[in-house]
Amino acid sequence: MAAAKSLRISAMWIVFALLLAGIPTASADDPVLTSKDHSYRVVTLADGLDRPWGMAFLPDGEGILITEKTGKVRLYHDGRLRPGAVRGAPPSVVWGQGGLLDIALHPDFKTNRWVYFTYAGRGRGGASTELARARFTGRAFEDLEPLFQTAPKTRGGRHFGSRIVFDRSGHLFMTYGDRGDRHKAQDLSEHQGSVIRLNDDGRLPADNPFVGRAGTRPEIYSWGHRNPQGATLHPETGAVWTHEHGPQGGDEINIIRRGANYGWPKITYGEEYGGGAVSEHTALPGLEQPLLHWTPSIAPSGMAFYTGDKFPKWKGNLFVGALVLRHLRRVVLDGEKVVAQERLLGDLDERIRDVENGPDGYLYVLTDSSDGRLLRLEPVEG
């Protein structure tokens, strides 16, 4: 009895210490869900986010930076969402599907404090996706530096992309949609429908595939994409993986290869909204095939390989947010072969905008609404 009482007192002190430290603890109200390999609890860390879009984990317990499509960057720190916005974010504009989009840290952030953003930027002729960086002081962004603008600006409101990922050599990849003008994805003289590769300061890498080729945009690394809203680095191979929205069906996961054409709209597994063929072909010579495609569409957004240790049976799995079918898609892989899939978080009935590994080994998720939430998935033993 004395031992049991001692354990209860110890547990109470642990919870008390966590509360003092500002770290949210699981409660009976947090839903417990079951997957094929793990039971897990969904803990709401913060709500009240206005269309959250991307997140970046700061080192050394500094918190999480979260973008809101409406133009603000919010800081989650010490167990709470700080009121107000972090000052100094780039001047984005809400333009249809565009707004303040992704956020990423420089690989050497601890030394240089650079934070990168993609966002819809207004200019002559309309808007397009732009890239900028600024130094994070802990309270604000300073030394804001525009790095790159996709061209041309257009008035359409669709398919801005956009995700940011750094590869192991320090190159920055950003994804850009076709802006609703599908045939531009096959036009190398404009940036629409491409994955763009830059140096970390926005300069053009000399070894990009179309450098020196007349009539092309040399920033393009791959092309023939519709609207890529997910990008991540494979933890073993270092390859850049992306996913993109199809039309009605035909969402894709692709492994990005230098100078490759991914086919949109010459080939697709989707069809026109309301029915009818976009193309007669799902494959043609010289055009890349997707690793995986989904019909009906799941409307993918956000993507991460799980590399933590809290869910050992999920290690190496790919996780993709789904906006339309409102779940988190778990993709089990054997190399580049898909061996199984599973829907998670479907009981929440929320649009999943982003998913990321946390440095603590948990999975973190953003839900897409005017009252968006930051969620953490935690394992439940037993």
Catalytic residue numbers?
Answer: 159
CA nearest to 100, candidates 76, 127, 81, 82: 127
Q: How far apart are CA 374 and CA 48, in angstroms?
A: 9
Record the tokens describing residue 38, joined without a space.
């793990």
Cβ–Cβ < 8 Å for 115, 171: no
Cβ–Cβ < 8 Å for 240, 311: no
Apex 329 CA angle, 325 and 330, nearest 5 = 165
